[in-house]
Amino acid sequence: MSKFFIITLSLLFALSSLAQTTSAPKKRSSIFQFDKDISKIFTKKKKAPKKTKSKKIAQTTPASTPKKEVAVPPKVVIAPLNDNMAVSSMPKFYKKRSQAIFNIGLIYYGDLYTDENFSKVQDLLEKRFELATNGELKLNVIFRAILPFKNQIKDLPDYKFEQIVQKEPVLITEPVTDMDKLQRIWYAENKGMSVVNEVYQEAKTHNLYGKDFSKLDALAVVTGAQFEGLGFASGRVAITENPMEIAYGHKYGRTEIQSDAKVVDELLHELGHSLSLGHATEQCFANGIDYKETQACCALAENKNDVLSYCRQRDMVNENFFYGFEACNMKTIREKIIPAMLKGGEWELKDVAKCE
C-alpha cells in the first residue's frame, strides 16, 4: 500500500470524526425542538374550545331560554257576601231563596216583658204581617230574645235626673226616684236614637243569638230605652218603644204601656221601611202645610190607610183591627221586593212609584 493511500485514509478518518463532533449540537437542537413541539401540542389542547368546529357548533346551537321567575299570586281573600245581618245592619243584597219569606230576629231590649208575654207579640206580628201582604210575603221569626240593657242604672250611681214640679212663679224640680223610669230616661238623655246600634251589636255578639245573624234579613226591636219617638228604622233594624215615657221632663208626665196590637202596628210600619219602602201619603205632610190642610189631604188620599201612612188612625188599632199594605205598596212588594229576594238581588229599591 502506498504511502499516499495511507495518508488519504487518515485524512478521511479525521474528517469523519470532526463531522460527528460538529453534528452533536444539532442532535441537542432536535431534542429541544421536540420539547417545543410537545409544548405546542399542549397549547393546542388548552385552546381546543376555540377550534373553528366548536365555534360553528356554538353558532348553530340555539341559546337556551333563561328561566323566568314565576310570580306567586297573592292569596285571594273572599269577602263575605253583603246579604245578611251578620255582615252589616244594612246589607246591600238579599240572600237568594226559593220562597217569598222575610226572615227576622225579634228582640225585646229592656225589662218589661217576660218571654211568655213577648211570645204573644211574636204570634200577632207573624199573623198580621201575612195578612198585611195578602199572604204573598210571609214573616219568619228565626229567634225571639229578651236582652238586658247594656248600660245598667245600678252601675251609674252618679246619674240624676230632675223633673220639673212647677215653672212659675219659681222653678221647682225634684229628682226621679223610680229606678226603672230613671233607667229609661238615661237612654233618652245619653243614647237617643243611637240605641239602635247598641241593640244590634249586643244581639250580634250574643253567644246564643249571634250565630243566627247570617240567616236574617232584618231585626225587629221593642225597647224601653227612650228615643222620643214612636219608632224608626235604621237600615234593616226596625225599632219601637214600649213602655213610652210621655213628657218625662215634668213630674206630671206619664209612663204609657202600649198594647200588643199597637206594638205590632208600629213594627209593621218600621218593617215596611226595612223592606226599603218609603212613607205613603207624604204629600200630606210636606213643609208649610198646617194641621187643617193635612187633615183635608189625608181625607182624600188614596193610600191614607196604608200601614206606612201617617194618615192612618193609630187609635183605631186594637185586637180586632189593624192596617196593612194598600194596592200601591203591594204592587212594589209583588213586582220588586219578592223577585229581589228570590234571585238574591239588591235591597234598595229604585224607580218606585210614590204611594200618594
pLDDT of residue 41: 38
pTM exceeds 0.85, yes or no: no
At 14, is the secondary structure helix, strand, or coil? helix
Task: Establish if 328 belongs to a structural domain.
Answer: no
Query: 231 in a domain, yes or no?
Result: yes
Round the average pLDDT of the chain to a whole number and report it. Answer: 86
pLDDT reading at 203 higher than 90: yes
Q: How confident is the model at residue 81 (pLDDT cuts 50, 70, 90)?
A: confident
Of 8-17, 117-126, 167-176, 323-332, the least confident: 8-17
Is 9's pLDDT higher than 60? no
Give the whole-number percent of the chain exceeding pLDDT 70: 78
Mean pLDDT of 78-99: 90
Is the pLDDT confidence value at 69 over 80? no
Q: Rounded to whole angstroms, what are the CA distances from 237 to 19, 117, 233?
A: 130, 22, 6
Whether residue 173 is contained in a domain is answered as yes
State phi, psi for 71 to the nearest 5 degrees.
-75, 130
Model confidence band, residue 249 (pLDDT cutoffs 50, 70, 90): very high
Q: 102-156 pLDDT, tens per residue?
A: 999 999 999 999 999 999 999 999 999 999 999 999 999 999 999 999 999 999 9
Q: What is the CATH number of the domain that holds 196?
A: 3.40.390
Neighbouring-strand partners of residue 220: 106, 238
Give residue-wise pLDDT tens across range 172-191.
Answer: 999 999 999 999 999 999 99
Given a cut of 50, whether residue 3 has pLDDT beyond it is no
* Residue 49 domain flag: no
Rounded Cα gap, residues 346 and 92, in angstroms = 6
The pLDDT assigned to 340 comes to 98
pLDDT tens digits, residue range 33-44? 333 333 333 344
d(CA 325, CA 305): 8
Q: Where are the alpha helices (DSSP H) in 69-177?
A: 115-132
Q: Could you tell me the three cell numbers for 141?
A: 221569626
**Distance between CA 323 and CA 303 in Å, rounded?**
11
**Average of pLDDT values for 153-160?**
96
The residue-averaged pLDDT of 88-107 equals 97
163/253 Cα distance (integer angstroms): 9
Total domains in the fold of the chain: 1
- pLDDT at position 217: 98
- First-to-last alpha carbon distance for the chain, in angstroms, is 168
Asked whether the predicted pLDDT for residue 309 surpasses 90, the reply is yes
Question: How far is residue 199 CA from its own chain's centroid?
Answer: 18
Residue 28 within any structural domain of the chain = no
With respect to residue 267, please indicate whether it lies within any of the assigned structural domains.
yes
User: 173 is written with which cell numbers?
Assistant: 224640680
Is residue 114, in this structure, part of any structural domain at all? yes
Using DSSP bridges, classify how beta strands 218-223 and 237-241 pair: parallel, antiparallel or unpaired.
Answer: parallel
User: Looking at residue 150, what is its pLDDT?
Assistant: 98
| Interatomic CA distance for residues 202 and 237, integer angstroms | 13
Report the helix count and the strand count for the chain, using DSSP H and E: 9, 9
- Tens of pLDDT, residue by residue over 252-304, are 999 999 999 999 999 999 999 999 999 999 999 999 999 999 999 999 999 99
**Residue 71: what pLDDT?**
67
Q: Is 137 contained in some domain?
A: yes
Domain extent for 206: 101-277
